[in-house]
């Protein structure tokens, strides 16, 4: 009974309520790098204006477990005019790179299928960070551990949905059983295709063994900053093992041959002696 989320970007308004709800429920502060001290001011002042459409938080981080992207697609005459929004977070992959990379089993999968970092076990080795193909997991200098979306582990184990889904005013983020959500997504995709949105696609059925948090995109995944073909390290395990075995065989063979040659040369030398 895997729980997950379906993010229908076609009805996302980019309001960022999910970002705020996430921080509120999870007790996350403002991202420290977004604020600076100003003389004669009683509190730090935000200075993180980016000029990148309405996106000022830029990326996921140890204190930003959700991030809404804004993609402006306009040609010069504005005859093509699209403003796409997409709320990004941890995808809770079925084949989770972070989980497999963790040497101390701090990252676990719960009975509800969500991938969860146990803060009291994490040793801060950061092996999980390059293991995530989506750039989701981040290290906090403050805690010395890594952080990411928990799929609201506490909420979902107490009969509630995720905070972001609860706050989403348009129903763009929905929480539920992955199998049910997939049915909903398929119906929505079929409808959009019928309306002529040829580029609409579902992202997350095949990727990384299937994503518990998956998306309906109106354009290619790369437009939304997502890898077209995400690869988690363990997917390379079999080929790399095969390569290792094959190389070992080759090396062994080479060694044997070389030993044999050396032996023969030795013999030759011996003979000469």
Partner 1 sequence: MIMGSNMAECHPVAFRWPLKAKTDHGAVLMHVDPRFTRTSALCDIHAPIRAGTDILFLGAIINHVINSERWNSDPFFKEYVVNYTNAAKLVNSGYKDTEDLDGVFSGMAKDGKSYSNETWSYQRGPKPAPAVAGAKTFTDLLLQRVPGRPKTDPTLKDPNTVFQILKKHYRRYTPEMVEKVCGCPKEKFLKVAETLLNNSGRDKTSNITYAVGWTQHTVGVQIIRTAAMLQALLGNIGRPGGGVLALRGHATIQGSTDIATLYHSLPGYLNMPDGRKNHESLRDYVLTEAVPLSTSYWGNFPKFAVSYFKAQWGDAATKENDYGYDYHPKITGDHSHLPMFVHMMEGQIKGFFAMGQNPAVGGQNASFQRKALSKLDWMVVRDFYETETSVFWKNSPEIRSEELRTADIKTEVFFLPAACVAEMEGTFTNTQRLIQRHDKAADPPGDARSDLWFTYHLGKRLKKLYTNSQNDHDWPIKNLYWDYEPLPEETGNFRIKDEPSAYKVLKEINGYTWEDKKPLPTFAVLKEDGSTVSGAWIYTGVIPAEGKNLAANRQGDEWISPGWGFAWPANRHIMYNRTSADTTGKPWSEKKKLIYWDPDKETKDPTGKTIRGLWVSPFGEGIDFLPTKAPGFRGKDNGIGFDWLSGNDPFIMRPDGKAWLFAPFGIVDGPMPAHYEPYESPTPNLVYKQQSNPLAKTWFIEGNPYHKVADPKYPIVISTYRVTEHHLSGTMSRWLPWLAELMPELFCEISPELAGEKGIKNADYMTIETARGEIQARALVTRRMRPFTVNGKTIHEVGVPWHWGWQARAEGDVVNNLSVLVADPNVTIHEGKVFTCNVRAGKRGGVSRG
Interactions with partner 1, residue window 191-220 (CB under 8 A): 191
Scanning 26-34, 117-125, 154-162, 197-205 for contacts with partner 1 by CB under 8 A, the matching segment is 26-34
Q: Estimate to the nearest angstrom the gap between the alpha carbon of 187 and the chain centroid.
A: 25
The 8 Å CB, 24+ separation contacts for 222-231 are 223/71, 223/73, 223/84, 224/9, 224/69, 224/71, 224/84, 224/86, 224/88, 225/69, 225/88, 226/88, 226/134, 227/133, 227/134, 230/133, 230/134, 231/133
Interactions with partner 1, residue window 72-101 (CB under 8 A): 72, 74-76, 78, 81-85
Figure out which of the listed residues 1, 27, 29, 39 binds partner 1, where binding follows CB under 8 A. 29
Q: Is 27 in the site for partner 1 (CB under 8 A)?
A: no
Q: Are strands 3-8 and 213-217 parallel, antiparallel or unpaired?
A: parallel
Q: Are strands 173-177 and 145-147 parallel, antiparallel or unpaired?
A: unpaired
Figure out which of the listed residues 24, 154, 186, 261 binds partner 1, where binding follows CB under 8 A. 24
Distance in Å, CB of 208 to partner 1, minimum: 28
Scanning 20-28, 96-104, 116-124, 199-207 for contacts with partner 1 by CB under 8 A, the matching segment is 20-28
| DSSP state string for 87-108 | EE----BSS-HHHHH-TT--EE
Q: Is 45 in the site for partner 1 (CB under 8 A)?
A: yes
Q: Are 151 and 114 in contact (CB under 8 A)?
A: yes
Q: Is 62 in the site for partner 1 (CB under 8 A)?
A: no
Scanning 50-58, 105-113, 144-152, 247-255 for contacts with partner 1 by CB under 8 A, the matching segment is 50-58
Helix, coil or strand: residue 49: coil
Q: Which stretches of the chain bind partner 1, using CB under 8 A?
A: 10-11, 13-17, 19-20, 23-24, 29-31, 34-35, 43-51, 53-54, 56-57, 72, 74-76, 78, 81-85, 169-171, 188, 191
């Amino acid at each position: 009974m895997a729980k997950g989320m379906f993010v229908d970007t076609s009805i996302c308004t980019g309001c960022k309520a999910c970002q705020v709800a996430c921080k509120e429920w999870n007790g996350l502060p403002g991202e420290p790098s977004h604020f600076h001290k100003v003389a004669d001011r009683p509190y730090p002042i935000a200075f993180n204006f980016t000029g990148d459409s309405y996106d000022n938080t830029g990326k996921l981080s140890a204190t930003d477990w959700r991030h809404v992207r804004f993609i402006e697609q306009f040609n010069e005459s504005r005859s093509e005019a699209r403003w796409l929004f997409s709320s990004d977070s941890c995808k809770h992959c079925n084949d989770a790179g972070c989980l497999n990379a963790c040497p101390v089993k701090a990252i676990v999968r719960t009975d509800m299928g969500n991938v969860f970092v146990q803060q009291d076990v994490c040793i801060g080795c950061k092996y999980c960070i390059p293991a995530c193909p989506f750039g989701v997991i981040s290290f906090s200098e403050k805690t010395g551990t890594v952080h990411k979306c928990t799929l609201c582990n506490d909420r979902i184990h107490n009969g509630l949905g995720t905070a972001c889904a609860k706050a989403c005013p348009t129903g763009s983020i929905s929480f539920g059983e992955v199998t049910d959500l997939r049915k909903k997504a398929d119906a929505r995709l079929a409808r959009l295709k019928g309306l002529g949105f040829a580029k609409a696609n579902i992202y997350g059925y095949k990727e990384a063994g299937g994503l518990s948090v998956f998306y309906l995109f109106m354009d290619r995944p790369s437009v939304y900053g997502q890898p077209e073909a995400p690869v988690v390290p363990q997917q390379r395990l079999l080929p790399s093992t095969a390569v290792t075995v094959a190389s070992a065989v080759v090396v062994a063979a080479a060694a044997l041959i070389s030993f044999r040659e050396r032996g023969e040369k030795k013999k030759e030398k011996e003979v000469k002696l």
